[in-house]
Chain A
C-alpha cells in the first residue's frame, strides 16, 4: 500500500497520522492568530498619527511580507518537503514582480 506506513498495521498508522494532522492543524491556527495580529498592527500603525509615513510605509510592507510568508509556508504547505519546484516557480514570479514594479515606478513619468 502507498500509505507510507512502517508498522504494517493500518489502524496504528491511522492513529499516528491523525495525531500528526491534528498537531499540524494546531500550528495552522497559531499562524492564523499571528496573521490577524499582523493585520491589526498594520491598520493601527496607519491610524496612529505620531508615525511619519517614512516609518509607517516600510513598516506595513514588512508586516505584509511576513504575513504572506505565513500564508505560503503554513497555509499552502510550502514548509513541507517536495516543494522545491513550487518554490522555484513562486520566487521566479516574485523576481519578475520586483523588476516590473521597480521599472514602472522609475520609468513612468506622467
Chain B
C-alpha cells in the first residue's frame, strides 16, 4: 500500500528487490525532484518497517516538466544510474519537511542530521504525507487509510490533463468546447424563441430582396427596358412601343422592393430592442447569484474591480454579438448564397472569378485572427488594471489624503491608463492594417470584374455578355463585399464574445470551495459543542496557516484564543463559521461534521461579531434584522437595547428607519460595532464567535460593548479572540496559538502556573495597564487640584 504507487515495471522495484526489499514490504513511497545544490533530479523515497531508502538518479531527459503541462511523457526512472542509500530506522529519529520558497527540503534528524533531498512545489504534498506516515511508523501507531490520502492539489482533467480553471471546478475548460459555449449562451435566448425566429425570417426576406436588386438595376433595366426586348413587353402584356410606361413600371417595382428592405430593417431594430435588455439582465443576475454563492476564497484571490468589469462588460458583449451580430451572419449567408447562385446562372466565367476571391479573403482574415484574439485579451486585462487602480484609490482615499499621496495615486492611475492606451493603440493599429488589406483585395476584385466583363463584351460581341449583365455583376460584387466584410468581421466579434462568454461561465460554473453536501444533516436547535480534530489549513498550497489544531469546547462554555497577530486566530474561527474548509482534519458541532451539516443549520447555529463590522445599504432596522428578516419590531428593539445601540439609534432623526450604508448616514466605528452585536443577539445562535469585537473602538465604548457582549455570551458556546486579555476574564478555557499550532491550552490558573507564553503576555499587559492606570490617576489628581 502506498499513496503513490511505484509502477510495477519500474527499475526501482528491481533494484530494491536486489537489496532484499520485496514490494510488499514497502509501506510508503514518494518522489522528489531537486538536489540540495539546486539541480533537477529524480528521487524516490521508500519506507519499510526497518529502513528508509533514498534512491537517486540524475536527470537525463532534456526537459523538466512541471505539473499541469500537457502532452509530455511522465518523467521516468533510469535504471542503470540509480544509487540507493539506506538508513536503518533506528538511526533516524524524525523526518521533517522544511518549507522553502516554491518548494521544500526533506531533513532527517537522528544519528545524522542532514538534508536528504529537495523538491519543487509539485511533490510537496506527497513529501508532507510521507513524513506523517514516517512519524506514525516510528511511534508504532497503526496506519490507516486516511494516512495515504494526499493533501488537496489542483486537479486536472482526466481526459486531456488540462488543469481546471478553479480548483474544485468539475468542468474541464478544454472539453467544454466553444461550440457548447455557444450553445449555452444561446440558451439565454430560448424564452424569446418566437421573437428570434421572427427576426430570422425578417432577415431572410431582407437578404433575398437585397440580393435580387442588382438584377433589376442591371439586366432588367439595361437589357430588357433600354434594350427594348419584345419578350419583356409580352411579360407585362403591354402594347408595343410604350417604353416610357415600361420604364416607369420597372422603376416602380424597384422602389417598392427598396421600401420593403427599409421596413424590414426597422422591424429588426424594434424586435432586437425588445430582447436585448431582458437577456442582458438574466445573464447579470446569474453571474451575481454565482458570485454570492462562491466562497470567500474566490474573492480574496481576485481584485474586486476586474470582477465588476466582468459582470457588466462581458454580459453586454455577449448579448450584442448574439443580437447585432449573429442574425447578420444568417442574413449575409443567405445573401451571399443567393448572389453566387444568380452569378453562375448568368455567366459562369465571371462567377468563378468572383467566387475564387471570396475564400481568399476569408483565408487571409483567418490568418490574422489569433493575433487579434491575443490583443483583445490584453486590452481586457489592461482595462481590468485601470479599474483595479481606480477601485484601489477610491477605497483607500482616506489613506491617500492623510499622507498627501495624491500625486502618487494620480501617477499610478496614469501608468495604468497609459498601458491601456498603448494596448488600445496596438489593437486599432492591427485592425487598421487588417482593413487596409481587406479593402485592397476588394478593389482588386472590382477592377478584375470590370476588366473581364469588358473583355468578354469586346471579344464575343454581346453573345456571351450583355451590358446589363456587366452592370448587374459590378453591382453584385459591390453588394457582396458588404456582407463579406461583415462576415469576416464576425469572426473577430465572435471571438471576443466567446471570450466574454467563457469568462462569464467561468464564474457561473466556479464551484464553491465550500459546498453543501447533497443530503445534508438538518438540525433545528443545536447545543453548541464545538470540536476540532487535527485541523490543518492553508490559503496557499504549501504554506499551512493552521497545523494540527485540536480542541473541544463543551456546549455553553467560553474559549478565549490568544496569540500574536498573523498566527492564525481569525483563520481558525472562519473555519468554524465554514468560510473555508480545512485541508485535513475535521470540525464538528454536536458531533456532526461541518461538511455534513446543511448550510442553513450552520448559519442558524453560528454567528460572528468581527472586527470589521460591515453595514449594508438599508435602514438600521434592516441591518439588525439581517439574519432574521422576519423579526418583529419588538425583537429588533430588544436586541438593540441589549447591544447598547438603542440609545444612539433613537437619537437619529429617523430612528430605526435611518438609512445607513453607502450613500446613507455614516456611522462611527463604535456604532457599527454595536449594530453587529445587536445582529448577533437577534440571531440568537448557540455558538458565538467574537473576533476582536472591540478592537477598533475607544476604551469607553469598549466597556459598553463588552458589557453587552457579557450579557450575550450567557448560555452560549463562545469563542473569543482578544488582544486585551482582560476581556477573556470569563473564559472557561484559554488557548494560546503560536505559529499555527496550539502552544498552550488550559484555564487561566493553569497557564499562569506554566509560566509560558500566556504568563508573559499577562505580565506585559498588567504592567502596561498599571502604568496606564497610574498615568490616569495622576492626570485625575492634576485636574482635581
Pair from one complex: no
B residues bordering A, Cβ < 8 Å?
A: none
A residues bordering B, Cβ < 8 Å?
A: none
